[in-house]
Structure 1
Amino acid sequence: MVSDLPSAGDLLIRPLAYRDVEVVQQRLCHEGVHDQPFGLPFFGDGQMTSPLHLLQWLMGMSKQRIYVAERDNQLLGVVQVAPFNENRTTWQVQQLAAQEFTEVGTQLLRHCFSSIIEARTWMVEINIDRREALDLYRQNGFQPLAHLTYWQISADQLAALAEGTPCLPNLLKVTNADARLLHELDTMSMPALVRQVFNRHYRDFQINLLDWLHHHLAGWWQQVQVHRAYVFEPQRKVAIASYTLHASQDGHLPHWLDLTVHPAYTHLYPEILTHIAQLVQSYAAAPLLLSSTDYQGEREAYLESWAEPIRRSLMMSRSVWHKVREVRSPLPEGLTLSEVLQGLQTHRRPQPGQIHTKEGAQAYYHEPPPKKTSPPEAQS
């Protein structure tokens, strides 16, 4: 598919093919400029030479879209995008790499904006140290949404934290039947602007069969075990906290924690992290990673005292709805609206041809005939 947008030279933008994987991984992702550490997550570390790699690639392509930019049979850039929510109204730019970063990156982004017409909002997360990537997204209409901080808890800190006794009496495992509770918790835990951009539905917290197979296949290949649970409040019948833990079985990857806590129950942070520390003790020693945003002040204050910040990112969003430019009134200076309306009146007052009175009489009013003018000889 050739992009119809103007570009320098004949730039061909097309979907990623199987033959492009080696070039993308070896040349673009290492030599080209990218918006974040690049790595196609479902490709694996090497080539897709086994049926397992190919099956994982096909399952990932069912949702994700990857486009490459080519000129004179030479790959110059690649972009990977995917829907962020179930109804596919919000799409996320996951990764972008290019040699001519500003020019080719802009063409790749605009191609995604024009070809994926179902997307009403776009979002991206960029490391704040990558200035060139931040400038690229700002030039293409992205605006700051929230600041993120990634924290690392070492294996020794996890071992010391696991010695405590957490108080979580209503900790339940997550099933698809709990999707509405998790959606309500997610709605209450973020401000209105972020909630509008995410545009999540309760179906986003359900796992269908295809996603379940994909996650288990990726977890088996990467030696990662997933634990999902939430804390239930029986009096209000709501979920007040939930987590998803990706525990590394061999210690090759760090443990990853996705944590959501209701703003009114921030006292649960120490309890949940103590419980998480006890869970990871049954796996290989590895650090734990989790994130916090600038609207989660209590979490950042809690982690700031003892956890190590390792990266800061900026979440940006772009809406496809553009504000209609206001048009000024074309009235000349000093001319009021009433004077304009007077100029739109008819020259002669219209008169009715018939009026019905209460007594049933009819009065006829006709427009007066035009005055006859006598010829000049008669006037003289």
Structure 2
Amino acid sequence: MQAFSTTGSTIRPMQHRDLEAIEQLQLAGDLCGASLESTQYKRRARNWFPLVQFVSWFPNPIQHLCRIYVAEVNGQVVGFIRVSPFNSSRSTWQIDEIEVAQGSSRAAIGTHLIRYCLEACWEARTWLLEVDVNAKDAIALYRQNGFQPLAQLTDWEISAEGLTDLAQHQPDLPNLLPVSNADAILLYQLDTASLPPQIRQVYDISVNDFRCSLVDRLIGHSQYMLNNVREVSGYVYEPQRKAAIAYFSVLVRHPASKPQTKRSAQPAHRAQITVHPAYTWLYAELMAQIARIIRQQAGSDRYSLWVSSADYQPEREAYFEQIQAATRSHGLLMARSVWHKIREAKPALDALQLSKMLSGFQPAHKPVPGRIDAIPPAHPDELS
């Protein structure tokens, strides 16, 4: 892809020589207002860039797994942006991280990076991002580029002592099953029932988003090895309705991992929960099951657990308040739509203008219709 230059800044795909500058922007930048996942992504550029570069050599859908662009001014990297597809059809993309160096043209460079991605990723019809509610500069930048608030997100932290108390409860989950590709339709129906219509429309999730190919498993396993975590997932099946009514996925960090720093403030474990609106009493059972899994897999009680909830899930927030979970961060989910104008391609024969080239073969004047003669009468001899 060609470099894009506007008002002295040039935007181009990231190269290996940009890693050091990107790491410096990550350490000093505060514009992105990134969510927890993108913060965990920081300071690991030298680990994930060789994988992204290797995958981009092959013509397969995985080459669009992640795109990173940098902004240059006078040959110096002053900003970068990382985007990735949100669903399997790549109709919805998300801004994972954006950082710009300190300066007077900070907002202008951030706008150029965002608009470049809006034009470069032609598959995207909708864009998503998560930003901290306290990142005023980031919210102003995103609003300036057409992003509107969609929902509020809250990160809850359950302490190690709280996990120990939850593990004492025996969960009542008789139909707890492991997740496989054969259960994709059940998980899709559960996700559809648990999301509001406006969120469901923006996410544009299909059944294929709940299936995992062999290549996806290998990439996910390599990422978990780099982060020294292990994923455990399962869902609760209702035999009478023949439907999944709850799902959970927990990332358990190994106790041999590096201790978290004050700057990153990263939780040791991360859990994702989806519960059918008619079975909200399963929150207590699922959290007890997750606490037991963490206790068995990690074998250590020094790490806490982080779980997210949205403002359209009041039962989940009420349960976390009941178990005295701590509120650690408030995020804002923002979205915008993009329509790409498709140029109509004219047929090649129309460009040749054959009507003018073959004008000599056309009649000079409009032909005059001739007289239509009637059938001549029969000869008298033939009548006799």
With the length of structure 1 as denominator, give the TM-score of the two structures. 0.79
In structure 1, what is the equivalent of residue 4 of structure 2? 3
Shift of residue 63, structure 1, vs aligned partner: 0.8
Amino acid at match of 1:265: Y
For these two proteins, the number of residue pairs brought into alignment is: 315
Structure 1 residues 135, 120: CA separation in 2 closer, same or farther (over 3 Å shift)?
same
Deviation digits for residues 177-218 of structure 1 (CA, Å, limit 9, x no counterpart): 000100000000010000000000010011111210111111
- Higher relative helix content: 2
Deviation digits for residues 100-126 of structure 1 (CA, Å, limit 9, x no counterpart): 431110000000011111100001100
Deviation digits for residues 310-368 of structure 1 (CA, Å, limit 9, x no counterpart): 0000000001149xxxxxxxxxxxxxxxxxxxxxxxxxxxxxxxxxxxxxxxxxxxxxx
2:64/2:85 contact within 8 Å kept: no
2:178/2:235 contact within 8 Å kept: yes
Shift of residue 169, structure 1, vs aligned partner: 0.4
Report which structure shows greater RCO (CA 8 Å, sep ≥6): 2
Shift of residue 62, structure 1, vs aligned partner: 4.5
1:68/1:79 contact within 8 Å kept: yes
Determine if the alignment matches structure 1 residue 213 to structure 2 residue 218: yes
Aligned positions of 1:220-231 closer than 5 A = 220-231=225-236
Amino acid at match of 1:25: E
Residues in 2 aligned to 1:200 and 1:34: alpha-carbon distance in whole angstroms: 29
In structure 2, what is the equivalent of residue 328 of structure 1? none
Aligned positions of 1:58-207 closer than 5 A = 58-59=54-55, 62-99=64-101, 100-207=105-212
Q: Secondary structure at 2:4's aligned position in 1? A: coil
Shift of residue 29, structure 1, vs aligned partner: 1.2
Structure 1 residues 278, 182: CA separation in 2 closer, same or farther (over 3 Å shift)?
same
Residues in 2 aligned to 1:154 and 1:209: alpha-carbon distance in whole angstroms: 35
Shift of residue 46, structure 1, vs aligned partner: 7.0
Structure 1 residues 174, 222: CA separation in 2 closer, same or farther (over 3 Å shift)?
same
Structure 1 residues 37, 146: CA separation in 2 closer, same or farther (over 3 Å shift)?
closer
Shift of residue 221, structure 1, vs aligned partner: 2.4
1:44/1:53 contact within 8 Å kept: no
Aligned positions of 1:330-369 closer than 5 A = none
Residues in 2 aligned to 1:125 and 1:55: alpha-carbon distance in whole angstroms: 25
In structure 1, what is the equivalent of residue 239 of structure 2? 234
- Aligned counterpart for 1:295 among listed residues 308, 312, 337: 312
1:42/1:218 contact within 8 Å kept: no
Residues in 1 aligned to 2:242 and 2:339: alpha-carbon distance in whole angstroms: 38
- Aligned counterpart for 1:262 among listed residues 264, 276, 295: 276
2:34/2:132 contact within 8 Å kept: no
Larger Rg belongs to:
1
Deviation digits for residues 65-122 of structure 1 (CA, Å, limit 9, x no counterpart): 0000001101111000000000000000000000243111000000001111110000
Residues in 2 aligned to 1:119 and 1:130: alpha-carbon distance in whole angstroms: 26
Structure 1 residues 145, 243: CA separation in 2 closer, same or farther (over 3 Å shift)?
same
Shift of residue 57, structure 1, vs aligned partner: 5.7
In structure 1, what is the equivalent of residue 10 of structure 2? 12
Structure 1 residues 47, 195: CA separation in 2 closer, same or farther (over 3 Å shift)?
closer
1:240/1:265 contact within 8 Å kept: yes
Structure 1 residues 40, 269: CA separation in 2 closer, same or farther (over 3 Å shift)?
closer
2:151/2:333 contact within 8 Å kept: yes
Deviation digits for residues 280-328 of structure 1 (CA, Å, limit 9, x no counterpart): 1121331000100000010011112310010000000001149xxxxxx
Structure 1 residues 278, 57: CA separation in 2 closer, same or farther (over 3 Å shift)?
farther
Amino acid at match of 2:130: E
2:164/2:291 contact within 8 Å kept: yes
The two structures, once aligned, show a CA RMSD in angstroms of: 2.1
Shift of residue 35, structure 1, vs aligned partner: 1.2
Amino acid at match of 1:66: I
With the length of structure 2 as denominator, give the TM-score of the two structures. 0.78
Structure 1 residues 248, 233: CA separation in 2 closer, same or farther (over 3 Å shift)?
same
Deviation larger for 276-285 or 195-204? 276-285
In structure 2, what is the equivalent of residue 36 of structure 1? 33
Matched residues, percent identical?
41
1:43/1:56 contact within 8 Å kept: no
Shift of residue 56, structure 1, vs aligned partner: 6.3
